[in-house]
């Protein structure tokens, strides 16, 4: 019988390491210099969703992170091929199809569309391949056949199992011994030689979708799908394999065993695992066990079980489309990138709203630049390569300071893609740009200084260059959340706030500001005037509710002038108010 050991495997000859880029490898438990299997090329595989239901924010953590990784690697000069698989055959898919009285394919197609729509909303648009398990059956069966022929797997009553005792390195990713591993339960347990053996092929049950194979009709196990799809698109050995921390065991451990035993070569150079989402420190991570954990035998006290209270459908995680509608895609992306990808992310809508306050720093700066330059920040042509930076003149203090920020940004990204550190440098660049505008009075008399304007444009172009590496500020946000009515009613809100401040009614003025902030709307006081920015899907409803509350408060205080002002202002904007027993309701007139 065949066995495999580290000593028998033939490692690939890697290219020269990048001069500064390092990546943390879960396998070695340390940061390593970045070297590629093929010079100048990078292959990335990220485990994608099992499409039996709508996506939630937990499904976006990996795609946002690896989209950012790819953008940076391309910026550094690499040709990157990124694969995200789709698991479209699974017990949960079959059960969902039976519940709804439709086919498994229909369930999959519906949820794949939802997944893709959410990716687009969060700016994840660099994925090169979306292989589906059902489209790769020939490759999956061929890989299983090879493992059986080499003695690493065995058939048993129509099923096929991987014999973990044949892999001397089994457990090397998760640092587990065979004695500490718990195998799959259920009806398959009696068919296996050992408790930790795992299924490569499962015999068909009556009425279930199935494919013909040398072992009879059936369908693949979860782990073999990824080994086959990654080999098909990236080769036997590739550069980066990603996924959530909860996938280290059993999924990625089993992928390694299958692929390396079959090919007698390392499967992946770097294993990169992102941290998961927690709702708050007391409640633990959002959701329960990994969606596969129980079926695949994750021990209840294992690190993966402790880490697998991740965002999951089984614990009532909500649909992502609704969250995007409330918060907007760029806010959610910014929120996810503020934290280093290996860290736990504390999730809540208020946390996203807090991140949105930071985004407004940039949106206000972009508007300021537009006023000063009479141009458009989003139309600036920024370098797309690492060596193309424009901050080369150290004799100009502001450019020297901005150049230091740019270098620190690159250092952060070189240090295991530290997006949190990189974003901190973007804030510093924004601070430098605003200070330069103030010191040179570029919104006043200094606007005639052509050299100063050119210098400001260089700083702003650098902000665009670096933010684009993170997939941020690629296009202007919809200032009104896609609804012209918001543009029409916000001047009324600003007028009410200004009147409250003039009357020294700071409680009302502060209440207006505090209710606008969670809606993603910021008010900036400039030269005796106030301007607003931000907003997104759901903002209009919140602003309308604020105006209704202000009108009700004015009526209770017998301030009929203010009450009438709100009614008349809304009417002018095309809004009809109707007073009912339960409170006022609004509609478009």
Q: Residue 119: exposed, middle, or buried by beta-carbon count in 10 A (0-12, 13-18, 19+)?
A: buried
- Residue 184, annotated as binding a ligand: no
Q: How many CB atoms sit inside 10 A of residue 13's CB? A: 7
Q: How far apart are the first and last CA of the chain?
A: 80
- Residue 226, annotated as binding a ligand: yes
Closest CA to 82 of 241, 269, 228: 241
CA distance 362 to 428: 11
CA distance 239 to 552: 62
Sorted by sequence, the CB contacts under 8 Å of residue 309 that are 6+ apart come out as 276, 278, 284, 285, 286, 287, 288, 289, 315
CA distance 351 to 356: 9
CA distance 132 to 415: 33
Q: How many CB atoms sit inside 10 A of residue 587's CB? A: 9
Please report how many Cα atoms fall inside a 13 Å half-sphere around the Cα of residue 172, on the Cβ side.
17
Instruction: Report the alpha-carbon angle 499-500-506, nearest 5.
Output: 150
- Residue 255, annotated as binding a ligand: yes
Q: Where are the alpha helices (DSSP H) in 328-449?
A: 329-337, 349-373, 397-414, 419-439
- Residue 47, annotated as binding a ligand: yes
Q: Where are the alpha helices (DSSP H) in 218-348?
A: 222-234, 253-263, 293-296, 303-307, 320-327, 329-337
Query: What b-and-e string marks burial along 414-450, b requiring 16 or more CB atoms within 10 Å of the CB?
Result: bbbbbbebbbbbbebbbebbeebbeebebeeebbeee
CA atoms 131, 133, 136, 140: torsion sign: positive
Q: Residue 353: exposed, middle, or buried by beta-carbon count in 10 A (0-12, 13-18, 19+)?
A: middle
Q: Give the residue numbers of the binding site.
A: 47, 226, 251, 255
Q: Give the residue numbers of the binding site for Zn(2+).
A: 47, 226, 251, 255
């Amino acid at each position: 019988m065949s066995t495999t050991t580290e000593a028998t495997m033939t490692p690939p000859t890697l290219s020269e390491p990048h001069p500064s880029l390092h990546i943390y490898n879960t396998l070695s438990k340390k940061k390593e210099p970045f070297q590629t299997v093929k010079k100048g090329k990078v292959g990335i595989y990220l485990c994608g969703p099992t499409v039996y239901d709508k996506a939630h924010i937990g499904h976006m953590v990996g795609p946002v992170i690896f989209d950012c990784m790819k953008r940076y690697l391309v910026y550094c000069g690499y040709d990157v091929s990124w694969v995200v698989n789709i698991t479209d055959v699974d017990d949960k898919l079959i059960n969902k199809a039976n519940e709804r009285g439709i086919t498994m394919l229909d369930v999959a197609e519906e949820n794949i569309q939802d997944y893709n729509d959410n990716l687009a909303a969060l700016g994840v648009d660099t994925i090169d391949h979306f292989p589906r398990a059902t489209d790769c059956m020939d490759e999956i069966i061929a890989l299983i056949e090879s493992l059986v022929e080499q003695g690493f797997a065995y058939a048993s009553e129509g099923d096929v199992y991987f014999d973990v005792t044949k892999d001397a390195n089994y457990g090397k990713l998760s640092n587990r011994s065979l004695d500490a591993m718990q195998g799959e339960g259920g009806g398959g347990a009696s068919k296996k030689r050992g408790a930790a053996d795992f299924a490569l092929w499962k015999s068909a049950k009556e009425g279930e979708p199935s494919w013909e194979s040398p072992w009879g009709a059936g369908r693949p196990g979860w782990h073999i799908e990824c080994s086959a799809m990654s080999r098909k698109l990236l080769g036997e050995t590739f550069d980066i394999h990603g996924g959530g921390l909860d996938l280290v065991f059993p999924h990625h451990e089993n992928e390694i065993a299958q692929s390396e035993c079959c090919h007698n070569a390392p499967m992946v150079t770097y294993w990169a695992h992102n941290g998961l989402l927690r709702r708050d420190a007391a409640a633990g991570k959002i959701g329960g066990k990994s969606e596969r954990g129980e079926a695949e035998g994750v021990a209840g006290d294992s690190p993966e079980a402790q880490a697998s209270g991740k965002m999951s459908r089984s614990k009532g995680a909500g649909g992502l489309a609704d969250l995007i509608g409330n918060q907007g895609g760029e806010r959610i992306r910014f929120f996810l990138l503020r934290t280093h990808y290996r860290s736990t992310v504390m999730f809540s809508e208020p946390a996203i709203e807090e991140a949105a306050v930071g985004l407004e720093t940039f949106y206000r700066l972009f508007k300021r630049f537009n006023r000063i330059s009479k141009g458009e920040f989003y139309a600036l042509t920024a370098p797309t390569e690492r060596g193309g930076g424009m901050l080369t003149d150290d004799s100009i203090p502001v450019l020297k300071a901005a150049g230091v920020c740019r270098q620190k940004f690159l250092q952060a990204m070189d240090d295991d893609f530290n997006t949190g550190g990189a974003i901190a440098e973007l804030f510093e660049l924004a601070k430098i740009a605003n200070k330069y505008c103030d010191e040179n009075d570029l919104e006043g008399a200094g606007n005639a200084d052509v050299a100063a304007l050119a210098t400001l444009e260089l700083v702003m172009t650098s902000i665009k260059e670096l933010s684009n590496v993170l997939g941020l500020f690629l296009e202007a946000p919809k200032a009104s959340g896609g609804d012209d009515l918001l543009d029409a009613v916000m001047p009324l809100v600003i007028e009410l706030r200004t009147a409250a401040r003039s009357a020294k009614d700071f409680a009302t003025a502060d209440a207006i500001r505090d209710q606008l902030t969670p809606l993603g709307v910021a008010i900036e006081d400039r030269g005796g005037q106030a301007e607003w920015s931000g907003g997104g899907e759901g903002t209009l409803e919140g602003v309308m509710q604020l105006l209704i509350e202000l009108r009700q408060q004015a009526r209770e205080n017998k301030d009929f002038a203010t009450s009438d002002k709100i009614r008349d202002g809304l009417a002018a904007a095309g809004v009809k108010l109707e007073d009912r027993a339960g409170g006022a309701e609004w509609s478009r007139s």
